[in-house]
Amino acid sequence: MAGCCAVLGAFLFEYDTPRIVLIRSRKVGLMNRTVQLLILAYVIGWVFVWEKGYQETDSVVSSVTVKAKGVTMTNTSKLGFRIWDVADYVIPAQEENSVFIMTNMVITMNQTQGFCPEIPGKTTMCETDANCTAGSAGTHSSGVATGRCVSFNGTLKTCEVAAWCPVEDDTEVPKPAFLKAAENFTLLVKNNIWYPKFNFSKRNILPNITTAYLKTCIYDAKTDPFCPIFRLGKIVENAGHSFQDIATEGGIMGIQIKWNCNLDRAASFCLPRYSFRRLDTRDTAHNVSPGYNFRFAKYYSDPNGAEHRTLIKAYGIRFDIIVFGKAGKFDIIPTMINIGSGLALLGVATVLCDVIVLYCMKKRYYYREKKYKYVEDYEQGLGNQMDQ
């Protein structure tokens, strides 16, 4: 109990104030200056020079439009001679911050609703009607089973389905890609950015770019780093992939536009930086369901009014435009905050040296006597003398 009262009395009725002790020690002095220099290097080099701690920052607000161009032709037994332009291979015509270019496809022509044999598989092959369940429709089925086992060809029988007939057979994907010439198609990317905090806006078609230049330039990291027109094959190659491989099975590519702007400098120094990467990177050790594809159909009616459709399983490359960055401009508030933080950090040198001097050095007890001095209350001492 007495110990607790003594601690409480010391807490309430004692006051400590720093005492300056000059220690003439080369070791301690050198350590103190070294720590101070490291802190100054951090504050000046990292906080102010590298991180620009004297600036207020803002994140980019962006809008993107993409326009594809390119024409090619094919000549196959199924489709014959055919010209392919933007309206044929860009699906859909407009997307938000992305564009899909069809490069390969499995096409099933002249489908009508009716009854036909299913594609042979583990669950569709049969010998008799007993092997087929009427009304069943699995997730991978082309239609609803009728319960009948019918001939698929001269040697195989499969369960009959009510479906769009003939059903699609996508077991063989064209190789090389059906539209392999798509590597020479181009994308014009228009990007407008805005930093609302500074009311600063700009676009990636820079003021020095003329109409004549825009009609002839193709992006190249060395010769034309600010041209906003990109060749598809070059985008894929810059990401470290083969265009023909990704065109065959489909994939997703990212066109990254980085805007890091120092608004303490002229606006002409605020420039876009382009980079490319594949967003659906394949794992060669786990190559299940690779690529990117989807289905769509084109419907029409014959002269008798019967409905038909052409089903297309489209493989292709989706290009996602990813815009990011930040802008900075001088502001007194972050400057003063970081200066104050730097000055506070200088106190670390004193704390570190105190710990070493008072607890680690051989003469630590001697230094403690010089560092700490206990003083009795003058008024209390004078009162005791008068009582005597």
Q: Please, are residues 384 and 376 in contact by the beta-carbon 8 Å criterion? A: no
Contact 323, 98 (CB under 8 A): no
Residue 68 marked as a ligand binder = yes
Annotated binding residue 67: yes
Determine the Cα–Cα distance for residues 180 and 357; give it in Å rounded to an integer: 75
Q: Round to whole Å and give the CA distance between 179 and 360.
A: 76
* Residue 371 assigned ligand-binding role: no
294 known member of a binding site: yes
Give the 3-state secondary structure of residue 375.
coil
Question: Is residue 69 a known part of a binding site?
Answer: yes
The Cα 278–Cα 320 span in angstroms is 10
Q: Is 204 annotated as a binding residue?
A: no
Element (H, E) at 265: none
φ, ψ at 67 (rounded to 5°): -125, 125
How do strand 273-278 and strand 72-76 relate by DSSP bridges? unpaired
State how far Cα 349 lies from the chain centre: 41
> What are the phi and psi torsion angles at 264 (to 5°)?
-75, -15
Residues in CB range of 289: below 8 A, 6 or more apart: none
CA atoms within 13 A on the CB side of 235: 32
Spatial contact of 190 and 258, defined as CB atoms under 8 Å apart? no
Q: Is 295 labelled as part of a ligand binding site?
A: yes
The string of DSSP letters for 96-127 reads SSEEEEEEEEEEEEEEEEEEEEPPP-TTTB-S
DSSP string, 189-235: EEEEEEETTTTEEEESS-TT--HHHHHH---BTTTBTT--EEEHHHH
Query: What residue numbers does the annotated binding site for ATP cover?
Result: 67-69, 186, 293-295, 313
Query: What residue numbers does the annotated binding site cover?
Result: 67-69, 186, 293-295, 313
